[in-house]
């Protein structure tokens, strides 16, 4: 009988400490979960930006190739305003291989 009373006394004295420490552990675990989720989201955003840059079809400076028109370049590079951004192009139908033009891809398309 004395054995059970000593165990009961022991449990009663350490139960509040165990309860409090479990609350601290729960708070720390919740904080780690929230912080870990924010880091992961940031990591995926950076990876998505890298993929978008790699998938970018044209450089900012583009050299017209054989049998290309402004229309085909516009579709390929996603820039519908090539003539407006290149004042040295006086006639949109007079595009020749080797012509250097500035391309600004449409951000909605990429």
Residue spans per domain, the chain:
1-55, 61-102
- The Cα-based distances of 41 to 4, 79, 105 in angstroms read 53, 30, 26
pLDDT digits over 38-74, tens only? 665 566 666 666 666 556 668 889 999 999 999 999 8
Q: Supply the pLDDT for residue 101.
A: 93
- What lies within 8 Å, CB to CB, of 70 at 6+ separation is 82, 83, 89, 92, 95
- Tell me the pLDDT tens digit for each residue of 2-38: 666 777 777 777 778 888 888 999 999 998 888 876 6
Nearest 5°: CA angle at 104, between 67 and 72? 20
pTM of the predicted model over 0.75: no
CATH code for the part of the protein at 61-102: 3.10.350
């Amino acid at each position: 009988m004395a054995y059970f009373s000593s165990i009961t006394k022991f449990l009663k004295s350490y139960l509040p400490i165990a309860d409090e420490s479990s609350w601290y552990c729960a708070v720390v675990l919740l904080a780690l979960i929230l912080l870990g989720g924010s880091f992961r989201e940031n990591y995926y955003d950076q990876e998505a930006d890298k993929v978008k840059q790699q998938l970018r079809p044209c450089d900012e400076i583009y050299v017209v190739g054989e049998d290309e028109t402004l229309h085909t370049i516009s579709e390929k590079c996603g820039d519908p305003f090539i003539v407006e951004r290149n004042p040295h192009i006086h006639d949109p139908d007079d595009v020749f291989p080797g012509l250097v033009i500035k391309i600004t891809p449409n951000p909605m398309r990429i």
